[in-house]
């Protein structure tokens, strides 16, 4: 059964005739996505320090610190189909994870499609993770306890970053993958069963993919479809979180299963009654708080020193 709060949100958007994202130019989709956060997101929790900065490649970043001292770090990549979203749309999520996990969070404002197509976002996210490690002392973080994470498109980018950094001999501590896109072919069964009626639709999946990817021949590239990577072994422990009424649900589960089959430590949690994007909707969907608390607890556990 769909969560009644999610149902009420969908019904309200229909009543107010909110245009489907796939009917909008990218710039208008970005404006509306940012504007709607005021209706669905809770108040931002206060933190000891929030600082805007830039990486050495010029990517805007926002560093969240819940306290003093040398902290573990989550490098966070926002969702939005590689096309919408920014530091402000995911400010509450990053603050909540920092406060709940007791870690610093570095939010990455990677370049967006269609102005910057694949693999621009991949390059920016990997560069930001490397910047964080290189500047660990200045940022007040522990370079041996760095995780990557993100939701939707950001979960895709986090998975790709984890593989890339493993191959480069720069291992991470953890990966937090929240309803990640893992297969650009969009052939998992949930793309059909959940393809209409739950905010993210088959049309919007195709819209985002069309803006981000240069063409169908690039879909199998593992930097776009990490599920298709030749080697998924020796990756950091992961939490893969999905939503039951999400077109991406099954490819998230497939990725969790593939990580487990390759010998990695993986936890998989599906919020069976939820829709795609729900973690940012804590003002109107109570289970968003439960999901973020689950993510924060997993991060806190992952960052715990060995033997504690």
pLDDT digits (tens, 9 = 90+) for 260-273: 999 999 999 999 99
Q: Report the DSSP pairing between strands 266-275 and 238-245.
A: parallel
**Global pTM value:** 0.98
What lies within 8 Å, CB to CB, of 16 at 6+ separation is none
Binning the chain into helix, strand and coil, the percentages to the nearest 5 are 40, 20, 40
For residue 97, count other CB atoms closer than 10 A to its CB. 27
> Do residues 178 and 248 touch, judged by C-beta distance below 8 A?
no
- In which band, very low, low, confident or very high, does the pLDDT at 13 lie, cut at 50, 70 and 90? very high
State both tokens at 69: 């001292």
Distances (CA, A) of 134 to 68, 104, 125: 20, 15, 14
Residue with tokens 């939503």: 243
Give the whole-number percent of the chain exceeding pLDDT 70.
99
State both tokens at 39: 């209706």
Residue from 295, 305, 283, 22 nearest 179 by CA:
295
Q: Report the DSSP pairing between strands 104-108 and 141-151.
A: unpaired
pLDDT in the model for residue 110: 98
Give the whole-number percent of the chain exceeding pLDDT 90.
98
pLDDT in the model for residue 25: 97
pLDDT in the model for residue 308: 53
Helix (H, G, I), strand (E, B) or coil at 306: coil
For residue 121, pLDDT beyond 80 = yes
State both tokens at 239: 């939490």
pLDDT in the model for residue 232: 98
**Mean pLDDT score, 139-143:** 97
pLDDT in the model for residue 266: 98
Helix (H, G, I), strand (E, B) or coil at 66: coil
Q: How far is CA 51 from the centre of its chain?
A: 21
Query: What is the C-alpha separation between 124 and 228, in angstroms, rounded?
Result: 21
Buried b (16+ CB within 10 A) or exposed e, 51-60: eeeebeeebb
> Do residues 236 and 162 touch, judged by C-beta distance below 8 A?
yes
Residues 20-41: tens digit of each pLDDT = 999 999 999 999 999 999 899 9
Domain limits of the chain?
Answer: 4-18+43-303
Q: 4-18+43-303 sits in which CATH class?
A: alpha beta
Distances (CA, A) of 79 to 93, 177, 300, 306: 11, 11, 22, 32
Task: End-to-end CA distance of the chain: give it in Å, rounded.
Answer: 40
Residues 39-94: tens digit of each pLDDT = 999 999 999 999 999 999 999 999 999 999 999 999 999 999 999 999 999 999 99
pLDDT in the model for residue 306: 64
Q: Active-site residue numbers?
A: 152, 246, 276
Return mean pLDDT, the chain.
97
Determine if residue 275 is left, alpha or beta; phi over 0 gives left, psi from -120 to 50 gives alpha, anything else beta. beta
Residues 292-308: tens digit of each pLDDT = 999 999 999 999 976 55
**Mean pLDDT score, 140-161:** 98
**Mean pLDDT score, 182-198:** 98
């Amino acid at each position: 059964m769909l969560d009644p709060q999610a149902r009420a949100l969908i019904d309200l958007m229909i009543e107010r005739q909110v245009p489907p994202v796939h009917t909008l130019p990218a710039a208008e989709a970005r404006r509306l996505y940012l504007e709607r956060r005021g209706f669905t997101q809770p108040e931002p929790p206060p933190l000891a320090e929030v600082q805007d900065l830039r990486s050495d490649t010029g990517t805007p970043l926002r560093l969240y610190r819940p306290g003093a001292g040398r902290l573990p770090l989550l490098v966070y990549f926002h969702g939005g189909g590689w096309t919408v979203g920014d530091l402000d749309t995911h400010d509450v999520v990053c603050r909540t994870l920092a406060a709940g996990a007791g870690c610093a969070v570095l939010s990455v404002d990677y370049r967006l499609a269609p102005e910057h197509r694949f693999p621009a976002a991949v390059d920016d996210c990997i560069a930001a993770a490397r910047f964080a490690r290189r500047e660990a002392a200045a940022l007040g973080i522990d370079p041996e306890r760095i995780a990557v994470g993100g939701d939707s498109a950001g979960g895709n980018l986090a998975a790709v970053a984890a593989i890339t950094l493993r191959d480069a001999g720069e291992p991470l501590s953890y990966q937090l993958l929240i309803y990640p896109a893992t297969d650009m072919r969009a052939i998992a069964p949930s793309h059909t069963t959940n393809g209409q009626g739950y905010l993210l639709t088959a049309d919007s999946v195709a819209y985002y993919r069309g803006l981000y990817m240069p063409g169908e021949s690039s879909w199998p590239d593992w930097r776009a479809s990490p599920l298709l990577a030749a080697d998924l072994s020796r990756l950091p422990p992961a939490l893969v979180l999905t939503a039951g009424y999400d077109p991406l649900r099954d490819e998230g589960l497939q990725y969790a299963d593939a990580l487990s089959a390759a010998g990695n430590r993986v936890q998989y949690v599906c919020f069976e009654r939820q829709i795609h994007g729900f973690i940012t909707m804590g003002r109107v969907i109570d289970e968003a708080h439960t999901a973020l608390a689950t993510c924060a607890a997993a991060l806190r556990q992952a960052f715990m020193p060995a033997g504690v």
